[in-house]
Structures are given as structure tokens and as C-alpha cells.
Chain A
Amino acid sequence: MATLELQSVTKRFDDIAAVENVSLRIEDNEFFCIFGPPSCGKTTILRLLLGLVVPDEGRILIDGQDVTYERPHQRDLGMVFQNLALFPHLSAGENIAFPLTERKEARSVIKDRVAEVAAKLHIDHLLHKPPAQLSGGERQRVAIARALVRNPLAYLMDEPLAALDARLRESTRVELKRLQRDLSHTLIYVTHDQEEAMSIADRIAIMRDGAICQVGTPDEIYNRPNSLFVSQIVGSPRINVIQGILSNGQFRAGNLGLELTCNGVAYNGAIALAIRPEDIAITDPGAAGALTAEVYEVEPLGGHTIVDVSLRDDILKVHLPGQPDFAPGQAIGLTLDGDHCYLFSANSGETLRHPV
């Protein structure tokens, strides 16, 4: 129930900028993801919001109030740490009660709140156990319960699911999304897993080297990336990138023998052309307008299949529904549509044109 805002915040550690001139506004009741490769400054943003580190420049606002220099316990935020940070000398129940006991709540209130939160997260039978005796998933629930018990202005979570195995991670993230909707609280969620970010967030901020690249809904991030970096970091398998020259709406990649007509772009020069694996079609070899290529490897994934296609020196990934019948070494035709491609400047990586 709060908006959080960073205004041109910079934080350096030993002259290295962990976060550089970042401005962000996280709206009320929003499920906001911060997503980027490891050590790009994601966690530092959370720590700045929490007050565990003080910015070198810029301001931090919660609900419009400047809290830049306020201490962590004055900010009323809940946090789930990446390593969960449970207190090993306290039982699960005492861990969950900790925020309330520190705030000198009445014993009956504490008991009720802990029971309520524990029931919501299905850990009421574990409250007497110390964290060391809990499984990874149980510990993670205790850590979330400790953040939820207090009803703070907003919740911050730093890769809370990173320690869980893949299956548990998938089911927990759905629960988390539902939980956030039920609580109707602002939730800021840091992850380096693009699938996680895309699947749960209302909006995503993509970070790289301490700066924000793009902020938008999962749909905007996926379909309207503002740079080559953003287009590459979301989507699985990764988007195919082909380097080449664009002149007068004609794209040419000499080493691949590829020529494409790209409409709606006035740029001339070196570009990176990118196409999503699902936008490439495989045809019979020698079909009209098709490139001659060869199947390099097939990855059948049940519901869909990734076909790795070698086109001269390059390998392109093609996403096909079902389980098509291909064998490595098989000759095929490839059809690329210039209008389905993203065009990026080869130098700056900025978007020149989205698919038309």
C-alpha cells in the first residue's frame, strides 16, 4: 500500500558504481520485478530502498516522503533475503514472531498473527522446529511468513525462490502471485530468471551494469524491446541475431548469403537483425524464396521442439509446435520475413524498428 520511488540514485562501492543514476517509480499494489544478469545492481536497489545502504547521490521516497537518510527500522518495509536469513537460534515460530516482539506487540496479538500467517502458508505444524530442521521449501515459507506477519507498507524479495528446486519454484511463484493479489500490497521482486520475471510481474525493470535499460509490462518487454540487450535477455530460447548491413531497406548478411527486405526503416549502415525462434518457418529445401540450410540438432521438448539449424557459419534456433520429424544433417529450407524482425543499431544496440 505504498509507492516507492528512486530519484537519480547513484551508489558506489570503492569507486565502482553498483547503481548509477537510477530513477524508478513503483506504483501502489504493483508486482514489480527487477530483472537482470548477476551483479547488475538489482540487490543494491533493494538494499537502498530498505536503508541498509545510503545512496551517494539522489533521493529515495516512500509514499512521496523523503526517506533517504532514515534507518531501516523506521521505513516499515518487509524483506525476504536471498539466503532467507532466518535466525538459527530461534524456532520457526519465534522467527515469524520476531518483527512483532521487536515492536513490543501484546503477546495475544503476536500469537494470533503468527497463527494466521502460518495457516496461510501451511506451516502451522512446523512452528516449534528450529530452521536447521526444516527443508528448503519450508524455510522459504518461514522467511516469507516473517515478512508477512507485520503488514508493512511494501514487501521486498531478493530471489526468494533461488534455493528451491525447479518444480517447487514453479508452484511457489504462482502462489506468490496469488498471495500478492490477496494482500493487495506493493511487492518488489528481484530475480535473474527471465521466466520468473515474465510470468509473475505486473511490470519489469531490466537492469544492466547498474543502470535501468527498460521498464515495462512483460508484453512491452517481450514485443517492444528498446535495445538488443533487452531483446536477448527475455525469451527462451534466445532470440536469433544476425549481423549485417542495411541499405535502402535491404538487409544483407554476406557471410550467410542472406538478403531480406525490411520495410519501415530509413537507417543505412551496420545493424543487428534479430528474429524470435517462433517467427522462423522451416520449409522443404528449394521452396520458393527459402534459404538452403541443414538441421544441426533437434531438441524435442514434448509440447514443442527446438530445431537448431546451421546456416553456413551460423546456427539459428527455430521454435516449432509439436514434435516434427527432423534428423541432424537433413537439408531444409528456411523462410525469414524481414517484417517479423527486430532491427538494432550495431553500435549502440538501440532499436531501429520493431516488427511491422
Chain B
Amino acid sequence: MRPSPAQIALRYVLIILATAIVLIPILWMISLAFKPYNEWQTAATGVHWWPKNPTLGNFEYIFTGQTEGLVVSLDFTAVRPIFASLLTASLGTILAVIVGTLGAYAVSRFKVANNLPLSVLQLRLFPPLAVMIPVMIMWAYLGMIDTWWGLSLIYTIVTLPFSFWLMKTFFDEVPLEIEEAALVEGCSRFRVFWKVTLPMVKAGIASTILFVFILNWSDYLMALLLTRKDWVTIPVYMNALATAMSGQLYGMKAALGLIAAIPPVILGLSIQRYLVRGLTFGALKQ
């Protein structure tokens, strides 16, 4: 049955409403990021949806440490935390996806390590805080506190179960006979993996990368416990934007939040064409 024009209109109204509810906080953040100090500060009178005098002052402040109209200056800019976040989250993601993919393939294809899938999962059964305090002490002994490799390593370890399990479901869907056909037609075991199986789970790898990257990118707890100054990440650095001297620097936080939203969005858009297939499991059937 074809919906009547009224039904279509109602449908669009509801969709726009639902979208608006989801997007309001994000729009508010964007608006806040471009407002000058006197518009976002707590004492400001009158709340406006859009900045009356748009400014890049908030961005200037977090990147250079000072801006016009604000007496308190920042002794530690956001440049290094942005770099630290990018480096540790990317490295952690790359390692977790590579290791998870190889492990998942082995478990999916060969009758080895039957208990591995569940024992990998047990890492996630503890409350993160219960695990992180001992990890912090270990990392301190190993001299890995406040290093990029220390943080990347814990990101790899913590997100490995996700990449392993996601990739395992994708590999399980590749029919064994397709690999056998490749074996018969002249591939070595590794060639089969590289030339046949891996291209078939491309979509799965793409969605795993995005999922794991977002987990790493938004981590606060681990970075808080394992970094001090040099390799502080964006979420931890966010704290520096509220001091006794300056109060809550909402505009600056919004500016930083806006910057922090960019990498996942770029990543998501660049692998978009695989995502729909990857997230709808079972797309591999011929």
C-alpha cells in the first residue's frame, strides 16, 4: 500500500525530530566552540543558539595558550595531546587489528586453541578499574608510564578481544571450500589467506578498525592512569581546561571536542562503503 502524502509528511517530521534530538548536543558544542568568552561564560546573560560574534579565539587559546580578553594563560597547549591521542590510538588500533585478525583466522580455520576465544574474552569480564590499578603498577616497574609505547600497548591489549571476536565471526562465514579451491588451484596456505580470504573479509576489517579506533580514541581511564605530562591524550587534557584560576573554560572545551570528533568522522567516511556490508553480518554469502 502506498502511504498517503500526509503519512509521508508525518514520517519526515518524525525523522527530523529524532535527528534533531540526537544532534542538539553536537550542534550546541559546535556553536559553543565559536562563541567569544562573554557569550559562553557562566555569567553571560541570555542564551543564544548561534554565536552573535563568531570568533576563533577558543581555538587560538588551546593552540597558543592565550587569547584576547582572557587573563589566565595556558602553560600547556593542546598540540601535543592531539598528537599523543592520534599516535597511541592509531598504533593501538593497528596492532589490535593485525594480531586479532591473525589469531581469529587461526582459531577459525585450524583446530587449535579451542579455549582461546573465551579466555581472550575473560579480559573484559573484570571492571576496568580493577585491572587498571595493577596494570599501572606494572607499567611503573617497566618504565612505561607516560610513554607512547606503554599507552599503545595497553590499548592493543584491551581492544584485542573485540578485534579477535569480530574478525572470528567474519572468518567463520567464509566457506571452507573456497579456500580449498584456492589450495587446489595452486596457492600456498599463506597465499590463500592473503589473496582469497583477506579480500573477502575486507568489509569486516574496515568495521573492526573503526570500532576499535573509537574505543581507543575515547579512552579516559587508561590514559589518566598511565600518562603524566608528555603523552597526555585529549580526554585527559580536557581536565586542564578547568582550573581554580580560570573556572570552566566551556568554549575551549567545545573547541577541543570539535577537533576530537574529526578523526573518527574522517575514518568513518573513508571506509563508509565497506561499513554497511561489514556491520550487516552475513553479507558474504554468494
A79 at the interface (CB under 8 A from B): yes
* Mask: chain B, 166-206; 1 = CB below 8 Å from A; 0 = not: 00000000010110111111111001000110011010000
A47, A75, A85, A88: the one within 8 Å of B284 (CB): A88
Report whether B191 and A52 are in contact in the complex, using a CB–CB cutoff of 8 Å.
Answer: no
Stretch at the interface among A31-39, A96-104, A199-207, A282-290: A96-104
Report whether A52 and B175 are in contact in the complex, using a CB–CB cutoff of 8 Å.
Answer: no
Cβ of B180: which chain A residues have Cβ within 8 Å of it? 47, 50, 52, 72, 79, 81, 85
Report whether A98 and B284 are in contact in the complex, using a CB–CB cutoff of 8 Å.
Answer: no
Cβ of A75: which chain B residues have Cβ within 8 Å of it? 184
Report whether A52 and B184 are in contact in the complex, using a CB–CB cutoff of 8 Å.
Answer: yes
Closest to A88 in B: B286
**Inter-chain CB contacts under 8 Å: number:** 67
Q: How far is the CA of A139 from the CA of B286 in the complex (A)?
A: 10
Cβ of A99: which chain B residues have Cβ within 8 Å of it? 185-186
Min C-beta distance of B181 to chain A, whole Å: 4
**Chain B interface residue count: which class?**
20 to 34
B182, B185, B191: the one within 8 Å of A150 (CB): B185
Closest to B199 in A: A89
Cβ of B183: which chain A residues have Cβ within 8 Å of it? 52, 71-73
Cβ of A82: which chain B residues have Cβ within 8 Å of it? 177
Min C-beta distance of B242 to chain A, whole Å: 51
Min C-beta distance of A272 to chain B, whole Å: 40
B177, B181, B186, B200: the one within 8 Å of A103 (CB): B186
A87 at the interface (CB under 8 A from B): yes
Q: How far is the CA of A61 from the CA of B177 in the complex (A)?
A: 23
Closest to A75 in B: B184
Q: Which of A181-216 contact B (CB under 8 A)?
A: none
A131 at the interface (CB under 8 A from B): yes
Q: Which of B73-117 contact A (CB under 8 A)?
A: none
Cβ of A71: which chain B residues have Cβ within 8 Å of it? 183, 188
**Chain A interface residue count: which class?**
20 to 34
Cβ of B177: which chain A residues have Cβ within 8 Å of it? 81-83, 85
A11 at the interface (CB under 8 A from B): no
Closest to A104 in B: B186
Min C-beta distance of A320 to chain B, whole Å: 44
Q: How far is the CA of A98 from the CA of B183 in the complex (A)?
A: 11
Report whether A73 and B184 are in contact in the complex, using a CB–CB cutoff of 8 Å.
Answer: yes
Closest to A99 in B: B185
Min C-beta distance of A105 to chain B, whole Å: 10
A52, A73, A85, A88: the one within 8 Å of B188 (CB): A73
Q: Tell whether A85 pairs with B186 under 8 Å between CB atoms, given A131-B286, A132-B286.
A: no
Q: How far is the CA of A50 from the CA of B184 in the complex (A)?
A: 7
Min C-beta distance of B203 to chain A, whole Å: 10
Cβ of A85: which chain B residues have Cβ within 8 Å of it? 175, 177-178, 180-181
Cβ of A88: which chain B residues have Cβ within 8 Å of it? 178, 200, 284, 286
Q: Tell whether A81 pairs with B181 under 8 Å between CB atoms, given A87-B196, A88-B284, A89-B199.
A: yes
Q: How far is the CA of A146 from the CA of B175 in the complex (A)?
A: 18
Cβ of B286: which chain A residues have Cβ within 8 Å of it? 86, 88, 131-132, 139
Q: How far is the CA of A219 from the CA of B29 in the complex (A)?
A: 84
Q: How far is the CA of A132 from the CA of B285 in the complex (A)?
A: 9
Cβ of A72: which chain B residues have Cβ within 8 Å of it? 180, 183-184
Cβ of B196: which chain A residues have Cβ within 8 Å of it? 87
Q: Which of A247-291 contact B (CB under 8 A)?
A: none
Min C-beta distance of A153 to chain B, whole Å: 12
Known contacts A86-B178, A132-B286; 14 additional CB pairs below 8 A are: A50-B180, A72-B180, A73-B183, A75-B184, A77-B184, A79-B180, A82-B177, A83-B177, A85-B177, A86-B181, A87-B182, A102-B182, A102-B186, A102-B187
B residues contacting A by CB (< 8 A) are 175, 177-178, 180-188, 191, 195-196, 199-200, 202, 284, 286
Across the A-B interface, give the 7 residue pairs with the lowest CB-CB distance, nearest first: A85-B181, A102-B186, A99-B185, A85-B177, A72-B183, A89-B199, A73-B186
